[in-house]
Structure 1
Amino acid sequence: MSKKTRHEPHEEHADESWLLPYSDLMTLLLALFITLFSMSSLDAKQFEEMAKSVSAAFNGGSGVLDYKSANPTEATADLGKNKEEIVPTKTKNPDAAVKSQTNTQKLAQQEEEDLQKLKQKLDQYIKQHGLTNQLNTKLNQSQLLITISDNALFASGQAEVKPDARILAKAISSMLTQFSGYDVIVSGHTDNMPIENSRYASNWELSSDRANHFMKILLLNNQLNPSKFSTIGYGEYRPITTNDTPAGRAQNRRVEVSIVRKYQNGTQVISATSRNN
Protein backbone atom coordinates (compact mmCIF):
# COMPACT_ATOMS: atom_id res chain seq x y z
CA MET A 1 0.00 0.00 0.00
CA SER A 2 1.34 3.22 -1.09
CA LYS A 3 2.14 5.86 1.42
CA LYS A 4 0.33 9.13 1.23
CA THR A 5 2.61 12.08 1.08
CA ARG A 6 2.28 14.00 4.26
CA HIS A 7 2.37 17.77 3.86
CA GLU A 8 3.46 19.97 6.69
CA PRO A 9 0.87 22.55 7.59
CA HIS A 10 1.64 26.01 6.11
CA GLU A 11 2.09 28.93 8.44
CA GLU A 12 -0.63 31.53 8.26
CA HIS A 13 0.53 34.69 6.46
CA ALA A 14 0.23 37.85 8.60
CA ASP A 15 -2.57 40.22 7.56
CA GLU A 16 -0.86 43.29 6.06
CA SER A 17 -3.99 45.16 5.03
CA TRP A 18 -3.34 47.75 7.78
CA LEU A 19 -0.40 49.09 5.81
CA LEU A 20 -2.70 50.79 3.31
CA PRO A 21 -4.53 53.15 5.74
CA TYR A 22 -1.26 53.63 7.64
CA SER A 23 0.55 54.83 4.52
CA ASP A 24 -2.40 57.11 3.68
CA LEU A 25 -2.28 58.54 7.19
CA MET A 26 1.47 59.20 6.93
CA THR A 27 0.95 60.94 3.59
CA LEU A 28 -1.76 63.19 5.06
CA LEU A 29 0.41 64.02 8.08
CA LEU A 30 3.29 64.94 5.79
CA ALA A 31 1.00 67.19 3.77
CA LEU A 32 -0.26 68.81 7.00
CA PHE A 33 3.27 69.52 8.25
CA ILE A 34 4.26 70.99 4.91
CA THR A 35 1.18 73.22 5.00
CA LEU A 36 1.89 74.34 8.56
CA PHE A 37 5.50 75.08 7.65
CA SER A 38 4.44 77.20 4.69
CA MET A 39 1.88 79.02 6.87
CA SER A 40 4.66 80.14 9.19
CA SER A 41 6.03 82.32 6.38
CA LEU A 42 2.62 83.57 5.20
CA ASP A 43 0.43 86.23 6.64
CA ALA A 44 -3.35 86.19 6.94
CA LYS A 45 -3.96 87.53 3.46
CA GLN A 46 -1.81 84.92 1.72
CA PHE A 47 -3.33 82.13 3.82
CA GLU A 48 -6.78 83.30 2.80
CA GLU A 49 -5.82 83.15 -0.88
CA MET A 50 -4.33 79.69 -0.43
CA ALA A 51 -7.44 78.48 1.39
CA LYS A 52 -9.61 79.76 -1.48
CA SER A 53 -7.46 77.93 -4.01
CA VAL A 54 -7.54 74.67 -2.04
CA SER A 55 -11.30 74.98 -1.60
CA ALA A 56 -11.72 75.58 -5.32
CA ALA A 57 -9.62 72.51 -6.12
CA PHE A 58 -11.73 70.25 -3.90
CA ASN A 59 -14.94 71.66 -5.36
CA GLY A 60 -13.95 71.11 -8.98
CA GLY A 61 -12.61 74.61 -9.62
CA SER A 62 -9.14 75.73 -10.44
CA GLY A 63 -6.41 74.43 -8.15
CA VAL A 64 -3.48 75.95 -6.37
CA LEU A 65 -1.35 75.85 -9.50
CA ASP A 66 -3.95 77.90 -11.34
CA TYR A 67 -3.72 80.80 -8.86
CA LYS A 68 -3.73 83.99 -10.89
CA SER A 69 -0.82 85.64 -9.11
CA ALA A 70 1.95 83.37 -10.40
CA ASN A 71 4.50 86.14 -10.08
CA PRO A 72 5.75 86.31 -6.44
CA THR A 73 6.73 89.96 -6.89
CA GLU A 74 3.20 90.89 -7.95
CA ALA A 75 1.70 88.91 -5.07
CA THR A 76 3.96 90.69 -2.58
CA ALA A 77 3.02 94.07 -4.03
CA ASP A 78 -0.70 93.29 -3.77
CA LEU A 79 -0.22 92.12 -0.20
CA GLY A 80 1.52 95.38 0.67
CA LYS A 81 -1.44 97.35 -0.71
CA ASN A 82 -3.87 95.37 1.42
CA LYS A 83 -1.77 95.95 4.52
CA GLU A 84 -1.87 99.70 3.93
CA GLU A 85 -5.66 99.59 4.02
CA ILE A 86 -5.90 98.04 7.48
CA VAL A 87 -2.96 99.62 9.29
CA PRO A 88 -4.15 102.66 11.31
CA THR A 89 -2.91 105.94 9.90
CA LYS A 90 -0.15 107.42 11.98
CA THR A 91 0.71 111.07 12.22
CA LYS A 92 3.09 111.72 9.35
CA ASN A 93 4.63 114.71 11.04
CA PRO A 94 4.45 114.49 14.83
CA ASP A 95 6.41 117.72 15.17
CA ALA A 96 3.70 119.58 13.27
CA ALA A 97 1.01 118.13 15.57
CA VAL A 98 2.92 119.24 18.66
CA LYS A 99 3.46 122.67 17.14
CA SER A 100 -0.26 122.98 16.34
CA GLN A 101 -1.20 122.00 19.90
CA THR A 102 1.26 124.52 21.33
CA ASN A 103 -0.13 127.23 19.07
CA THR A 104 -3.71 126.43 20.16
CA GLN A 105 -2.70 126.70 23.81
CA LYS A 106 -1.09 130.09 23.15
CA LEU A 107 -4.24 131.35 21.43
CA ALA A 108 -6.37 130.09 24.32
CA GLN A 109 -4.12 131.91 26.76
CA GLN A 110 -4.35 135.10 24.69
CA GLU A 111 -8.12 134.79 24.66
CA GLU A 112 -8.19 134.47 28.45
CA GLU A 113 -6.12 137.65 28.75
CA ASP A 114 -8.37 139.50 26.28
CA LEU A 115 -11.57 138.59 28.10
CA GLN A 116 -10.03 139.47 31.46
CA LYS A 117 -9.11 142.94 30.09
CA LEU A 118 -12.62 143.45 28.72
CA LYS A 119 -14.17 142.42 32.04
CA GLN A 120 -11.94 144.85 33.91
CA LYS A 121 -12.97 147.70 31.61
CA LEU A 122 -16.65 146.88 32.02
CA ASP A 123 -16.35 146.61 35.80
CA GLN A 124 -14.55 149.94 35.91
CA TYR A 125 -17.28 151.58 33.81
CA ILE A 126 -20.00 150.10 36.03
CA LYS A 127 -18.29 151.37 39.17
CA GLN A 128 -17.61 154.86 37.79
CA HIS A 129 -21.24 155.36 36.72
CA GLY A 130 -22.83 153.87 39.83
CA LEU A 131 -24.44 150.98 37.97
CA THR A 132 -23.48 148.16 40.33
CA ASN A 133 -27.14 147.45 41.12
CA GLN A 134 -28.09 147.28 37.46
CA LEU A 135 -25.15 145.60 35.72
CA ASN A 136 -22.72 142.81 36.50
CA THR A 137 -20.18 140.75 34.62
CA LYS A 138 -19.14 137.12 34.93
CA LEU A 139 -16.33 135.26 33.15
CA ASN A 140 -16.65 131.48 32.99
CA GLN A 141 -15.39 128.59 30.86
CA SER A 142 -17.71 129.35 27.94
CA GLN A 143 -18.23 133.12 27.84
CA LEU A 144 -17.96 136.59 29.29
CA LEU A 145 -21.51 137.39 30.39
CA ILE A 146 -22.82 140.95 30.85
CA THR A 147 -26.16 141.04 32.65
CA ILE A 148 -28.24 144.24 32.51
CA SER A 149 -31.38 144.75 34.57
CA ASP A 150 -34.45 145.52 32.46
CA ASN A 151 -35.34 148.66 34.43
CA ALA A 152 -32.00 150.14 33.39
CA LEU A 153 -32.98 149.74 29.74
CA PHE A 154 -36.74 149.65 29.24
CA ALA A 155 -40.00 150.99 30.53
CA SER A 156 -42.40 148.38 31.87
CA GLY A 157 -43.84 146.22 29.07
CA GLN A 158 -41.85 148.08 26.40
CA ALA A 159 -38.91 147.12 24.18
CA GLU A 160 -37.58 150.55 23.14
CA VAL A 161 -34.31 151.33 24.91
CA LYS A 162 -34.46 154.39 27.18
CA PRO A 163 -32.51 157.42 25.93
CA ASP A 164 -30.06 157.39 28.86
CA ALA A 165 -29.60 153.61 28.44
CA ARG A 166 -28.46 154.14 24.85
CA ILE A 167 -25.30 155.70 26.31
CA LEU A 168 -24.63 152.43 28.14
CA ALA A 169 -25.19 150.37 24.98
CA LYS A 170 -22.80 152.59 23.02
CA ALA A 171 -20.16 152.32 25.75
CA ILE A 172 -20.38 148.52 25.61
CA SER A 173 -20.13 148.53 21.82
CA SER A 174 -17.06 150.77 22.00
CA MET A 175 -15.33 148.28 24.30
CA LEU A 176 -16.29 145.39 22.02
CA THR A 177 -14.48 146.93 19.04
CA GLN A 178 -11.15 145.99 20.60
CA PHE A 179 -12.29 142.34 20.68
CA SER A 180 -14.33 142.22 17.47
CA GLY A 181 -13.45 138.63 16.53
CA TYR A 182 -15.79 137.07 19.07
CA ASP A 183 -19.36 135.89 18.56
CA VAL A 184 -21.84 137.96 20.57
CA ILE A 185 -25.29 136.71 21.62
CA VAL A 186 -27.85 139.16 23.00
CA SER A 187 -30.67 137.41 24.88
CA GLY A 188 -33.86 138.83 26.39
CA HIS A 189 -35.51 137.49 29.57
CA THR A 190 -38.74 138.30 31.42
CA ASP A 191 -40.44 137.19 34.61
CA ASN A 192 -43.46 134.88 34.58
CA MET A 193 -46.10 137.56 34.84
CA PRO A 194 -48.37 137.52 31.75
CA ILE A 195 -47.93 140.49 29.44
CA GLU A 196 -50.90 142.85 29.41
CA ASN A 197 -50.80 145.10 26.39
CA SER A 198 -51.93 145.04 22.78
CA ARG A 199 -48.43 145.09 21.28
CA TYR A 200 -47.10 141.78 22.63
CA ALA A 201 -49.08 138.57 22.80
CA SER A 202 -46.64 136.87 25.19
CA ASN A 203 -43.36 137.25 27.04
CA TRP A 204 -41.70 135.45 24.11
CA GLU A 205 -42.35 138.39 21.81
CA LEU A 206 -41.39 140.97 24.43
CA SER A 207 -38.07 139.30 25.29
CA SER A 208 -37.16 138.83 21.61
CA ASP A 209 -38.00 142.43 20.73
CA ARG A 210 -35.94 143.76 23.65
CA ALA A 211 -32.92 141.72 22.58
CA ASN A 212 -33.26 142.96 19.00
CA HIS A 213 -33.56 146.63 20.03
CA PHE A 214 -30.49 146.44 22.23
CA MET A 215 -28.44 144.66 19.55
CA LYS A 216 -29.36 147.28 16.95
CA ILE A 217 -27.89 150.01 19.17
CA LEU A 218 -24.70 148.00 19.61
CA LEU A 219 -24.41 147.67 15.83
CA LEU A 220 -24.69 151.41 15.26
CA ASN A 221 -20.94 151.13 15.78
CA ASN A 222 -19.78 150.30 12.22
CA GLN A 223 -16.54 148.84 13.54
CA LEU A 224 -18.47 145.79 14.72
CA ASN A 225 -19.22 142.90 12.36
CA PRO A 226 -22.99 142.16 12.22
CA SER A 227 -22.30 138.55 11.16
CA LYS A 228 -20.88 137.95 14.65
CA PHE A 229 -24.12 139.00 16.38
CA SER A 230 -27.35 137.12 17.07
CA THR A 231 -30.35 137.47 19.39
CA ILE A 232 -32.50 135.07 21.39
CA GLY A 233 -35.76 135.62 23.25
CA TYR A 234 -36.17 133.24 26.19
CA GLY A 235 -39.29 134.79 27.70
CA GLU A 236 -39.78 133.60 31.28
CA TYR A 237 -38.14 130.21 30.74
CA ARG A 238 -34.56 130.92 31.87
CA PRO A 239 -35.01 132.45 35.34
CA ILE A 240 -31.94 132.99 37.52
CA THR A 241 -33.94 133.11 40.74
CA THR A 242 -37.49 132.65 42.04
CA ASN A 243 -40.47 134.43 40.49
CA ASP A 244 -42.37 134.23 43.78
CA THR A 245 -41.22 137.64 45.04
CA PRO A 246 -41.04 141.13 43.47
CA ALA A 247 -37.26 141.19 44.03
CA GLY A 248 -36.85 137.83 42.32
CA ARG A 249 -38.97 138.85 39.35
CA ALA A 250 -36.94 142.03 38.99
CA GLN A 251 -33.72 139.98 38.73
CA ASN A 252 -35.25 137.69 36.12
CA ARG A 253 -36.20 140.62 33.88
CA ARG A 254 -32.90 141.26 32.14
CA VAL A 255 -30.86 141.42 28.95
CA GLU A 256 -27.69 139.36 28.71
CA VAL A 257 -24.80 140.04 26.34
CA SER A 258 -22.59 136.95 25.90
CA ILE A 259 -19.11 137.23 24.41
CA VAL A 260 -18.51 133.60 23.46
CA ARG A 261 -15.10 131.97 23.85
CA LYS A 262 -13.35 130.48 20.84
CA TYR A 263 -11.34 128.12 23.07
CA GLN A 264 -12.55 126.01 25.96
CA ASN A 265 -10.17 123.92 28.08
CA GLY A 266 -7.38 124.61 25.62
CA THR A 267 -9.42 123.29 22.66
CA GLN A 268 -10.77 125.33 19.80
CA VAL A 269 -14.55 125.55 19.57
CA ILE A 270 -16.02 125.68 16.06
CA SER A 271 -18.91 128.13 16.26
CA ALA A 272 -21.85 128.36 13.87
CA THR A 273 -20.53 131.56 12.32
CA SER A 274 -17.11 129.94 11.79
CA ARG A 275 -18.70 126.98 9.99
CA ASN A 276 -20.65 129.30 7.69
CA ASN A 277 -17.62 131.40 6.75
Structure 2
Amino acid sequence: MKKRKHDDHDEHIDESWLIPYADLLTLLLALFIVLYAASSTDARKFERMSEAFSAAFNSGAGILDNPAIIKSGEQSQQKIDDEKKTNTDQHEDTESNLQELIKKEQEDLEKLKQQLDQYIKKNGLSSDLETKLNQSQLMITISDNALFASGSDALKSDSIELAAAISKMLEPYTGYEIVVSGHTDNQPIRTQSFKSNWDLSSSRAIRFMDVLLENNKLKPERFSAIGYGEYRPVASNDTTAGRGKNRRVEVSIIRKYVDSSNVQQIPATPKQ
Protein backbone atom coordinates (compact mmCIF):
# COMPACT_ATOMS: atom_id res chain seq x y z
CA MET A 1 0.00 0.00 0.00
CA LYS A 2 2.83 2.44 0.81
CA LYS A 3 4.45 1.70 -2.50
CA ARG A 4 1.15 2.48 -4.28
CA LYS A 5 0.93 5.90 -2.61
CA HIS A 6 4.51 6.61 -3.59
CA ASP A 7 3.73 5.82 -7.23
CA ASP A 8 0.75 8.18 -7.19
CA HIS A 9 2.95 10.94 -5.83
CA ASP A 10 5.47 10.40 -8.64
CA GLU A 11 2.75 10.73 -11.28
CA HIS A 12 1.81 14.28 -10.11
CA ILE A 13 5.11 16.18 -10.56
CA ASP A 14 4.89 19.88 -9.76
CA GLU A 15 4.65 21.77 -13.12
CA SER A 16 4.17 25.31 -11.74
CA TRP A 17 7.62 26.26 -13.06
CA LEU A 18 6.19 26.26 -16.60
CA ILE A 19 4.25 29.48 -15.96
CA PRO A 20 7.24 31.80 -15.31
CA TYR A 21 9.16 29.93 -18.01
CA ALA A 22 6.44 30.64 -20.55
CA ASP A 23 6.35 34.32 -19.49
CA LEU A 24 10.11 34.50 -19.88
CA LEU A 25 9.92 33.06 -23.39
CA THR A 26 7.20 35.56 -24.27
CA LEU A 27 9.33 38.46 -23.04
CA LEU A 28 12.37 37.19 -24.94
CA LEU A 29 10.29 36.84 -28.10
CA ALA A 30 8.96 40.35 -27.65
CA LEU A 31 12.52 41.65 -27.17
CA PHE A 32 13.70 40.03 -30.39
CA ILE A 33 10.69 41.45 -32.19
CA VAL A 34 11.58 44.95 -31.00
CA LEU A 35 15.23 44.54 -31.99
CA TYR A 36 14.22 43.29 -35.41
CA ALA A 37 11.73 46.08 -35.94
CA ALA A 38 14.25 48.73 -34.84
CA SER A 39 16.77 47.47 -37.38
CA SER A 40 14.27 47.39 -40.24
CA THR A 41 13.51 50.36 -42.47
CA ASP A 42 10.29 48.78 -43.67
CA ALA A 43 7.39 50.84 -42.27
CA ARG A 44 4.94 47.96 -42.67
CA LYS A 45 7.10 45.56 -40.66
CA PHE A 46 7.67 48.13 -37.97
CA GLU A 47 3.94 48.74 -37.65
CA ARG A 48 3.22 45.03 -37.28
CA MET A 49 6.03 44.38 -34.84
CA SER A 50 5.04 47.36 -32.72
CA GLU A 51 1.46 46.17 -32.43
CA ALA A 52 2.60 42.63 -31.65
CA PHE A 53 4.89 43.89 -28.91
CA SER A 54 2.10 46.00 -27.40
CA ALA A 55 -0.30 43.07 -27.43
CA ALA A 56 2.22 40.77 -25.78
CA PHE A 57 2.70 43.07 -22.80
CA ASN A 58 -0.84 44.32 -22.41
CA SER A 59 -2.77 41.09 -22.79
CA GLY A 60 -0.33 38.59 -21.33
CA ALA A 61 -1.24 36.17 -24.11
CA GLY A 62 1.27 34.51 -26.36
CA ILE A 63 1.74 36.19 -29.71
CA LEU A 64 1.00 33.05 -31.63
CA ASP A 65 -2.17 32.60 -29.60
CA ASN A 66 -3.56 35.88 -30.99
CA PRO A 67 -3.68 35.82 -34.82
CA ALA A 68 -5.76 39.00 -34.73
CA ILE A 69 -2.52 40.93 -34.19
CA ILE A 70 -1.36 40.24 -37.72
CA LYS A 71 -4.78 41.07 -39.11
CA SER A 72 -4.80 44.35 -37.19
CA GLY A 73 -1.37 45.18 -38.55
CA GLU A 74 -2.58 44.57 -42.10
CA GLN A 75 -5.60 46.80 -41.52
CA SER A 76 -3.39 49.58 -40.13
CA GLN A 77 -1.08 49.35 -43.13
CA GLN A 78 -4.06 49.47 -45.45
CA LYS A 79 -5.18 52.64 -43.69
CA ILE A 80 -1.70 54.13 -44.14
CA ASP A 81 -1.70 53.17 -47.82
CA ASP A 82 -5.15 54.71 -48.30
CA GLU A 83 -4.04 57.95 -46.64
CA LYS A 84 -0.93 58.07 -48.82
CA LYS A 85 -3.04 57.57 -51.93
CA THR A 86 -5.45 60.30 -50.82
CA ASN A 87 -2.58 62.70 -50.15
CA THR A 88 -1.03 61.85 -53.52
CA ASP A 89 -4.32 62.45 -55.31
CA GLN A 90 -4.80 65.76 -53.51
CA HIS A 91 -1.26 66.81 -54.38
CA GLU A 92 -1.80 65.93 -58.03
CA ASP A 93 -5.07 67.89 -58.06
CA THR A 94 -3.38 70.89 -56.46
CA GLU A 95 -0.48 70.70 -58.92
CA SER A 96 -2.89 70.41 -61.83
CA ASN A 97 -4.88 73.43 -60.62
CA LEU A 98 -1.66 75.42 -60.15
CA GLN A 99 -0.53 74.63 -63.68
CA GLU A 100 -3.89 75.82 -65.01
CA LEU A 101 -3.58 79.08 -63.07
CA ILE A 102 -0.02 79.58 -64.32
CA LYS A 103 -1.15 78.95 -67.89
CA LYS A 104 -4.05 81.42 -67.57
CA GLU A 105 -1.78 84.06 -66.04
CA GLN A 106 0.78 83.61 -68.82
CA GLU A 107 -1.95 84.11 -71.42
CA ASP A 108 -3.20 87.25 -69.64
CA LEU A 109 0.23 88.84 -69.40
CA GLU A 110 1.12 87.97 -72.99
CA LYS A 111 -2.13 89.59 -74.11
CA LEU A 112 -1.38 92.74 -72.10
CA LYS A 113 2.17 92.88 -73.46
CA GLN A 114 0.83 92.61 -77.00
CA GLN A 115 -1.55 95.52 -76.37
CA LEU A 116 1.27 97.64 -74.96
CA ASP A 117 3.60 96.81 -77.85
CA GLN A 118 0.91 97.73 -80.37
CA TYR A 119 0.37 101.07 -78.60
CA ILE A 120 4.12 101.75 -78.58
CA LYS A 121 4.44 100.96 -82.28
CA LYS A 122 1.33 102.94 -83.25
CA ASN A 123 2.54 106.06 -81.42
CA GLY A 124 6.18 105.83 -82.45
CA LEU A 125 7.43 105.35 -78.87
CA SER A 126 9.88 102.52 -79.49
CA SER A 127 12.84 104.62 -78.35
CA ASP A 128 11.13 105.65 -75.11
CA LEU A 129 9.14 102.57 -74.04
CA GLU A 130 9.97 98.90 -73.71
CA THR A 131 8.11 95.88 -72.36
CA LYS A 132 9.63 92.72 -70.98
CA LEU A 133 7.86 89.60 -69.69
CA ASN A 134 9.79 87.19 -67.48
CA GLN A 135 9.13 84.63 -64.76
CA SER A 136 8.38 87.24 -62.09
CA GLN A 137 6.63 90.13 -63.83
CA LEU A 138 5.61 92.09 -66.89
CA MET A 139 7.69 95.26 -66.81
CA ILE A 140 6.99 98.47 -68.74
CA THR A 141 10.11 100.66 -68.87
CA ILE A 142 9.61 104.33 -69.75
CA SER A 143 12.48 106.73 -70.38
CA ASP A 144 12.43 109.82 -68.20
CA ASN A 145 12.72 111.97 -71.37
CA ALA A 146 9.23 110.82 -72.31
CA LEU A 147 7.85 111.76 -68.90
CA PHE A 148 9.67 114.63 -67.19
CA ALA A 149 11.77 117.67 -67.82
CA SER A 150 15.31 117.44 -66.46
CA GLY A 151 15.42 117.56 -62.66
CA SER A 152 11.60 117.75 -62.41
CA ASP A 153 8.82 115.46 -61.23
CA ALA A 154 6.07 117.26 -63.15
CA LEU A 155 4.73 115.06 -65.94
CA LYS A 156 4.71 116.40 -69.48
CA SER A 157 1.34 116.62 -71.20
CA ASP A 158 2.22 113.74 -73.52
CA SER A 159 3.24 111.57 -70.57
CA ILE A 160 -0.12 112.18 -68.91
CA GLU A 161 -1.77 110.82 -72.04
CA LEU A 162 0.60 107.83 -71.94
CA ALA A 163 -0.19 107.10 -68.28
CA ALA A 164 -3.91 107.28 -69.03
CA ALA A 165 -3.51 104.81 -71.90
CA ILE A 166 -1.56 102.38 -69.71
CA SER A 167 -4.15 102.62 -66.93
CA LYS A 168 -6.89 101.82 -69.45
CA MET A 169 -5.05 98.66 -70.53
CA LEU A 170 -4.62 97.63 -66.89
CA GLU A 171 -8.36 97.62 -66.18
CA PRO A 172 -8.90 93.88 -66.82
CA TYR A 173 -5.99 92.98 -64.53
CA THR A 174 -7.03 94.49 -61.21
CA GLY A 175 -6.05 91.31 -59.33
CA TYR A 176 -2.34 91.93 -59.87
CA GLU A 177 0.06 93.88 -57.70
CA ILE A 178 1.42 96.91 -59.57
CA VAL A 179 4.75 98.45 -58.54
CA VAL A 180 5.84 101.83 -59.96
CA SER A 181 9.55 102.48 -59.44
CA GLY A 182 11.66 105.54 -60.22
CA HIS A 183 15.36 105.47 -61.18
CA THR A 184 18.00 108.09 -61.86
CA ASP A 185 21.58 108.19 -63.09
CA ASN A 186 24.46 108.81 -60.68
CA GLN A 187 24.72 112.55 -61.29
CA PRO A 188 24.14 114.25 -57.92
CA ILE A 189 21.20 116.58 -57.49
CA ARG A 190 20.50 119.06 -54.72
CA THR A 191 17.74 121.57 -55.31
CA GLN A 192 15.09 123.25 -53.25
CA SER A 193 12.67 120.45 -54.18
CA PHE A 194 15.01 117.47 -54.16
CA LYS A 195 17.98 117.07 -51.89
CA SER A 196 19.08 113.79 -53.51
CA ASN A 197 18.36 111.29 -56.29
CA TRP A 198 16.37 109.30 -53.73
CA ASP A 199 13.90 112.17 -53.47
CA LEU A 200 13.70 112.72 -57.22
CA SER A 201 13.19 109.05 -58.13
CA SER A 202 10.58 108.53 -55.39
CA SER A 203 8.62 111.64 -56.34
CA ARG A 204 8.62 110.73 -60.02
CA ALA A 205 7.29 107.25 -59.25
CA ILE A 206 4.51 108.69 -57.09
CA ARG A 207 3.53 111.34 -59.64
CA PHE A 208 3.23 108.76 -62.40
CA MET A 209 1.24 106.44 -60.12
CA ASP A 210 -1.10 109.32 -59.28
CA VAL A 211 -2.06 109.65 -62.94
CA LEU A 212 -2.57 105.88 -63.30
CA LEU A 213 -4.93 105.93 -60.32
CA GLU A 214 -7.06 108.69 -61.77
CA ASN A 215 -8.75 105.74 -63.42
CA ASN A 216 -11.25 104.76 -60.71
CA LYS A 217 -11.58 101.25 -62.15
CA LEU A 218 -8.15 100.39 -60.77
CA LYS A 219 -7.63 99.38 -57.15
CA PRO A 220 -5.27 101.70 -55.21
CA GLU A 221 -4.59 98.97 -52.64
CA ARG A 222 -2.88 96.99 -55.38
CA PHE A 223 -0.42 99.80 -56.18
CA SER A 224 2.84 100.86 -54.58
CA ALA A 225 5.56 103.35 -55.53
CA ILE A 226 9.24 103.21 -54.72
CA GLY A 227 12.36 105.24 -55.56
CA TYR A 228 15.69 103.48 -56.15
CA GLY A 229 17.72 106.57 -56.89
CA GLU A 230 20.88 105.71 -58.81
CA TYR A 231 21.29 102.26 -57.24
CA ARG A 232 19.56 100.01 -59.80
CA PRO A 233 21.32 100.94 -63.06
CA VAL A 234 20.69 98.98 -66.25
CA ALA A 235 23.67 100.48 -68.07
CA SER A 236 26.99 102.16 -67.31
CA ASN A 237 26.85 105.70 -65.98
CA ASP A 238 30.15 106.44 -67.69
CA THR A 239 28.46 107.46 -70.94
CA THR A 240 25.66 109.85 -71.85
CA ALA A 241 23.69 107.05 -73.50
CA GLY A 242 24.09 104.84 -70.43
CA ARG A 243 22.93 107.54 -68.06
CA GLY A 244 19.92 108.14 -70.34
CA LYS A 245 18.92 104.47 -70.00
CA ASN A 246 19.27 104.61 -66.22
CA ARG A 247 16.88 107.57 -65.90
CA ARG A 248 13.57 105.79 -66.15
CA VAL A 249 10.24 104.84 -64.57
CA GLU A 250 9.21 101.19 -64.46
CA VAL A 251 5.67 99.86 -64.09
CA SER A 252 5.77 96.21 -63.01
CA ILE A 253 2.77 93.87 -63.08
CA ILE A 254 3.80 91.19 -60.59
CA ARG A 255 2.95 87.55 -61.22
CA LYS A 256 0.77 85.80 -58.65
CA TYR A 257 1.98 82.32 -59.56
CA VAL A 258 5.50 81.10 -60.24
CA ASP A 259 6.37 77.87 -62.03
CA SER A 260 9.41 76.77 -60.02
CA SER A 261 10.53 74.42 -62.81
CA ASN A 262 11.06 77.40 -65.12
CA VAL A 263 12.60 79.87 -62.70
CA GLN A 264 15.83 81.27 -64.09
CA GLN A 265 18.59 82.95 -62.21
CA ILE A 266 18.25 86.74 -62.21
CA PRO A 267 21.21 88.32 -64.01
CA ALA A 268 23.56 90.42 -61.94
CA THR A 269 23.16 94.20 -61.98
CA PRO A 270 25.64 95.72 -64.47
CA LYS A 271 28.62 97.33 -62.84
CA GLN A 272 29.09 101.03 -63.26
Same fold (TM over 0.5): yes
1:168 partnered with 2:162: yes
Q: Which amino acid letter does the alignment assign opposite residue 238 of structure 2?
A: D
Q: Which range moves more in the overlay, 90-99 or 105-114?
A: 90-99
Corresponding residue number in structure 2 for 1:212: 206
1:227 partnered with 2:213: no
As a proportion of its length, which structure holds more helix? Answer: 2
Q: Which amino acid letter does the alignment assign opposite residue 219 of structure 2?
A: N
1:190 and 1:235 in contact (8 A); partners too: yes
* Structure 2: distance between partners of 1:31 and 1:144: 75
1:38 to 10, 13, 30: 30
Report the 3-state secondary structure (helix = DSSP H, G, I; strand = E; otherwise coil) of the residue aligned with 1:197. Answer: coil
1:11-160 to 2 correspondence within 5 Å?
35-40=27-32, 43=49, 90=84, 92-160=86-154
Q: Which amino acid letter does the alignment assign opposite residue 28 of structure 2?
A: L
* CA pair 197-101 structure 1, distance change in 2 beyond 3 A: same
Larger radius of gyration, structure 1 or 2?
1
2:196 to 157, 178, 202: 202
1:2-17 to 2 correspondence within 5 Å?
none
Q: Which range moves more in the overlay, 97-106 or 157-166?
A: 97-106
Q: Which amino acid letter does the alignment assign opposite residue 108 of structure 2?
A: D
1:170 and 1:217 in contact (8 A); partners too: yes
CA shift, 1:140, in A, is: 0.6
2:30 and 2:53 in contact (8 A); partners too: no
CA shift, 1:70, in A, is: 6.7
Report the 3-state secondary structure (helix = DSSP H, G, I; strand = E; otherwise coil) of the residue aligned with 2:180. Answer: strand
1:208 and 1:234 in contact (8 A); partners too: yes
* CA pair 106-34 structure 1, distance change in 2 beyond 3 A: closer
Runs of 5+ consecutive residues of structure 2 not aligned to the other structure: 1-20, 35-48, 62-68, 262-272
**Across the two proteins, how many residue pairs are aligned to each other?**
215
2:237 to 243, 248, 255: 243
**Deviations 1:87-121 (CA, angstroms, capped at 9, x unpaired):** 89746454333222211111110111111111111
In percent, how many aligned pairs have the same letter?
Answer: 52
1:149 and 1:251 in contact (8 A); partners too: yes
1:105 and 1:266 in contact (8 A); partners too: no
Report the 3-state secondary structure (helix = DSSP H, G, I; strand = E; otherwise coil) of the residue aligned with 1:157. Answer: coil
CA shift, 1:208, in A, is: 0.4
For the aligned residue pairs, the C-alpha RMSD in angstroms reads 3.3
Report the 3-state secondary structure (helix = DSSP H, G, I; strand = E; otherwise coil) of the residue aligned with 2:198. Answer: helix
Q: Which amino acid letter does the alignment assign opposite residue 110 of structure 2?
A: Q
* CA pair 99-44 structure 1, distance change in 2 beyond 3 A: closer
